A and B are shown apart, each in its own frame.
Chain A
Amino acid sequence: MKSYYDRPLLKGPHWGSNVVTYLFLGGIMGGLGLISLLADDRPEPEMKKLRKATRYTAFALAAINPPILISHLGRPERFFNMLRIVKFKSPMSLGVWGLVLYSGAAGANAVRELADDGIVPKMLRYIAPSATVPIQALLGAFMAGYTGVLISATAIPFWATGKRHIPAFSVCSGAASASALATLLSTLQGNHDVIPRLERLEMAASALEVALIADFRRRGGAATAPFFEGRVGTRLRDFTILGGIVVPFALNAIGGAFKLPKSLDALRSIAASTLTLVGGYVLRESLIEAGKLSANDPHVAFRQPS
């Protein structure tokens, strides 16, 4: 096949670990929005505790994620230039607004919890309407998914090929990681009663995730090679598919099927959650790294995916 001395046609992303972290935490923020909605307005004490845990954590993440995003810019002091326009054709633009709005909703929900706990004046409870709970969940779904749209709406062949799969499994990965984080927090809180439900949610999310990744591999064709093969593919297999999905799924299934002694069970769920979180991070890292490799291959870039 013809090429120009095999020189890359495209320019790859300049994005490093700060972007990977942003994508990873964005996914978790999304999943926490869902869990906080699921636990909303329930009489059970374990749901109340879960609700608080997810709302405080989501708010904390909403506070630390923007600086991480800003740190990747070539001119960080000009971050606010992103807020001069709203551009529906640019997922990067919509994403920044999604982040801003999500932070607002997460803030409102955290303030309500703080007011209930008596940490801030009670009356503050009324400036944050309860509609912010489903709103945070909706914006959360956007936060978990838009990064997948953002990368597939580029010229990079591997990303472009995944226009259906990447956004969908990014959402699943975000939900699984959020369930894992909520499980860890609940373990710390001693809120053991809620853990079986979180683990079932995590199992569902990671089952859908692995199914989507498998389907992507089957249909993706040559452009997906940088993701599934070589160094990136090995890491993806070991840390995301096996370590981050299969093993935690098995551990969670064991936890659901057998009544283990309390401390052993805590150990089991801590292990499963930690592995899921690592797997979620490696998934995002593999997406970015494979994007860089994909940009170097001119042959797949000459005929770009529709």
Chain B
Amino acid sequence: MATGFFTDSTLCIGCKACEVACKQWNELPSDGFEFTGNSYDNTSQLSGTTWRHVDFVERESVDAEGIATSWSMLSDVCKHCTHAGCLEACPTGAIIRNEFGSVFVQPDICNGCGYCVVSCPFGVIDLIEAVGRGDDAAKYSVATLHDDRLNERKTAVQATGGVAGKCTLCYDRQRVGMVPACAKACPTESIQFGEIDDLRERAKRRVETLQARGVDARLYGADDVGGGIGALNAFFLLTDSPEAYNLPAEPVLPSTRQAMGYAAAAFAALTLATIGWAIFRGEGGAA
């Protein structure tokens, strides 16, 4: 049974407990500190070592009493797409769909080619700097990753470096029946974890309730997002357009362009081969 996240921006208080819990559980290194000046968001983006990121959307409205600022916060995460660009692109087969329906990077298979990075329509997955390279990477094979994890408090990610990293949907925790660290830490249940069908139903009820109260609520990814991607196993409830949260309004699965590309290359090759044949082997050419 596929599991996933339903992240509800209307419940988020911007505490970043999810970011911290994720970093802690997965022992992800710090990305350094940069003061961005963009509201309270100094994390800025998801990365190979940041698997939850809280967006702080500020909206200003002017009325008789002056300028009012409203906030909408949303904890962004890997979408665990039904048809995932990263998974399709990966030439080593490092990225798989696991038994929970999540898109999972096996860090001991990944060779750091970086093709998944440019193939994610949501800009989620990224290469992790080569920290601690040369460490005993084999020790952290997938097998040991989940079974010995609770004792072996060191992630495969840190051990290997130079590989791709993103949310695992806490594969290791799920294996032992635990809730993902971010959902566990969230104090307002803005991040809900569960079985996908169940979450979708909850989300639809929630959006109806909010709309009845006059909130401009909409779901992102609960149903097919288009572009060949299908529905998202981690979907969101938004109160603004997707772009405001740095989500694409029209994402597209990159592999859908391949057939056209190969056809165009074949056209050019055939044209040149024909011309070349005339030049080298035609009547006048070979004379």
Query: Is B227 part of the binding interface, using a Cβ–Cβ cutoff of 8 Å?
Result: yes
The B268-287 residues at the A interface (CB cut-off 8 A) are 268-269, 271-273, 275-277, 279-281, 285-286
Binary flags per residue of A29-61, CB closer than 8 Å to B gives 1, else 0: 000001100110010100100000000000000
**A residues 259-306 touching B (CB-CB < 8 Å):** 291, 295, 298, 301-306
- Binary contact track A154-169/B, C-beta < 8 Å → 1, others 0: 1110011001111111
User: Is there an interface contact between A168 and B267, defined as CB atoms closer than 8 Å?
Assistant: yes
B255 contacts A by Cβ under 8 Å = yes
Residues of A within 8 A of B47 (CB): 11
A180–B47 Cα distance when bound, in Å, is 43
Task: State in angstroms the CA–CA spacing of A84 and B124 once bound together.
Answer: 26
Verify B111–A79 contact, CB threshold 8 A.
yes
In the assembled complex, the Cα of A164 lies from the Cα of B244 at a distance in Å of 31
**CB contact list, B245-276 vs A, under 8 A:** 245-252, 254-258, 260-262, 264-269, 271-273, 275-276
Contact A73–B275 (Cβ < 8 Å): no
Q: Is the CB of A73 within 8 A of B91?
A: no
* Contact call A34/B276, Cβ cutoff below 8 A: yes
Interface status of B21 (Cβ within 8 A of chain A): no
Within the assembled complex, what's the spacing in Å between the Cα atoms of A197 and B275? 11
Judging by beta carbons under 8 Å apart, are B250 and A35 in contact?
Answer: no
Nearest CB in chain A to that of B38: its residue: A5
A14 x B257 contact (CB < 8 A): no
What residues on B are CB-neighbors of A305 within 8 Å? 252, 257
Interface size on B, residues (CB 8 A): 80
Contact (Cβ within 8 A) A171 B269: yes
Q: Tell me the complex Cα distance, A90–B254, Å.
A: 10
Q: How many Å lie between the Cα of A90 and that of B266 in the bound state?
A: 18
A10 contacts chain B at the CB level, 8 A cutoff = yes
- B110-131 interface with A by 8 A CB criterion: 110-115, 117-127, 130
Cβ of B44 within 8 Å of any chain A Cβ, yes or no, is yes
- Contact check, A154 vs B272: say whether CB atoms are below 8 A apart: no
One of A117-125, A198-206, A245-253 contacting the partner: A198-206
A74 contacts B92, C-beta separation under 8 Å: no
Shortest C-beta distance, A109 to chain B (Å), equals 17
Q: State whether A11 touches B120 (Cβ < 8 A).
A: yes
Contact present for B275 and A2 (CB under 8 Å): no
Known: A9-B123, A72-B113, A304-B251. A163 touches B94 (CB 8 A): no
Question: Which of A82, A154, A172 contacts B119, CB < 8 Å?
Answer: A154
Q: A75 near B265 (CB under 8 angstroms)?
A: no
Q: Does B90 contact A (CB under 8 A)?
A: yes
| A92 interface residue (CB < 8 Å to B) | yes
Interface assignment of A141: CB less than 8 Å from any CB of chain B? yes
Q: At the interface, yes or no: B4 with Cβ under 8 Å from chain A?
A: no
21 contacts between A and B (CB under 8 A): A5-B39, A38-B277, A38-B279, A42-B286, A44-B286, A73-B111, A74-B110, A74-B111, A81-B111, A84-B109, A90-B90, A92-B113, A141-B265, A145-B268, A148-B265, A155-B118, A163-B257, A163-B261, A167-B265, A205-B272, A302-B243
Give 20 A-B pairs besides A82-B111, A93-B91 with Cβ atoms closer than 8 angstroms: A4-B245, A38-B277, A74-B111, A74-B112, A74-B113, A75-B162, A76-B111, A81-B109, A84-B109, A85-B92, A90-B91, A152-B261, A153-B119, A153-B255, A153-B258, A153-B261, A155-B254, A163-B264, A171-B268, A306-B252
Chain B: residues with CB nearer than 8 A to chain A? 36, 38-39, 41, 44-45, 47, 55, 57, 85, 88-94, 109-115, 117-127, 130, 133, 160-163, 227, 240-252, 254-258, 260-262, 264-269, 271-273, 275-277, 279-281, 285-286
Q: Which 7 A-B pairs have the closest CB atoms?
A: A74-B112, A145-B265, A74-B162, A149-B261, A4-B246, A78-B111, A141-B269
